[in-house]
Amino acid sequence: MRVYPTFFKAAFSWMDPELAHTLGFAGIQLAHRCGLGRVLSRMTAADGGSEVHVMGLTFPSPFGLAAGFDKGATGTHALTDLGFGHVEIGTVTGQGQPGNPRPRLFRLVADRAVVNRMGFNNDGARAVAPRVASALHTLAQDAARTGRRRPVVGVNIGKTKAVGLEDAVGDYVLSTATLAPYADYLVVNVSSPNTPGLRQLQELDALRPLLRAVRAEADRVTTRRVPLLVKIAPDLADEDVLAVADLALELGLDGIVATNTTIARDGLGLRSDREAVAQCGAGGLSGAPLRRRSLEVLRLLREHVGDRLVLVSVGGVTTAEDVLERLDAGASLVQGYTAFLYEGPFWAARINRGLRRAARRTSA
């Protein structure tokens, strides 16, 4: 019997979602600081048979935590204790910023969904970079001590709100110069709906020089080749999805993260009444209702690019069966976030157990 759904209903469901997130994350960090991390990591770790080798990196599990939860690399090590094979930090911008006014995070509990208009609230690249470096150092020490694979730490970068679109390339280059020396991989986020004008950067005439500049800067400031991916919106038309894929191939990118949150409300089969949805206001919707479109985009991309790009599938992932479905559809890696809020701290561990059971059935 699972305890967390009852705990969520009693402790968090009535609380402001952003406050609940802050308190929940603080609890995870506290457990780590109190020494429970080593116990948890032994309980939650994926086994060696779950490893994924892509982009020159080894991921202990194909399942990881999407960007948005740990925006500032303040609890990365604690999150890997819970069983995530990788944690994507961010979104991080060139300059620190407070994000959009509160309230800016809303639950649609009946749909196991969230609407957010956070607006890339973060401390900025210069503050986050040493935290990423510290997390990687301690994770490497743990890996050496235990003999297990080190979880992978990616960094997702976006545009500072105060920077105009005409100066966006320089802003992304600043973040790249600061963070690329530490990130296991980089993701260029041009698909959040919560920074005005950002999604215009998905247009090829804007995206080509941006990605080219980020790639060149990452190569300039590092002695290794940092894998580079671009994150796209589920709201792109199919032909635009394929155009971005062709651009990624043209520029020699390593992969695509598909997909970000959606601005759509209709056509998602939402169970919440229209008034409740309307009260959330503008923002990106994530969670279970995004499952169908995210899977469609994944299949479209894999059919188009074959094995030439790494595809990271995110959107509507809740169970081990969901992860397996994405892997079968062509994902190299799978990420989740929204279900973490509803499933609780042992969510990744349950998914890892489900993946192990599936692997045993396949090999039997």
- Residues forming the annotated binding site? 67-71, 91, 116-120, 156, 189, 194, 231, 259-261, 287, 316, 337-338
Catalytic residue flag (residue 192): yes
327 Cβ contact partners less than 8 Å away, ≥ 6 residues apart: 62, 334
229 Cβ contact partners less than 8 Å away, ≥ 6 residues apart: 185, 186, 187, 188, 253, 254, 255, 256, 257, 310, 312
> Rounded to an integer, what distance in angstroms lies between the CA atom of residue 334 and that of residue 325?
10
126, 29, 40, 354: CA torsion to nearest 10: -70
Phi, psi of 222 (to 5 degrees): -130, 155
Reference 132, options 149, 168, 156, 148; nearest CA is 156
Binding residues for substrate: 71, 116-120, 189, 194, 260-261
- Token representation of residue 285: 């919707």
Question: 350 burial class (0-12, 13-18, 19+ CB within 10 angstroms)?
Answer: middle
> Rounded to an integer, what distance in angstroms lies between the CA atom of residue 150 and that of residue 119?
31
Binding residues for FMN: 67-71, 91, 156, 189, 231, 259, 287, 316, 337-338
- From 192, 294, 313, 332, the catalytic residue: 192
Q: Just list the catalytic residues.
A: 192
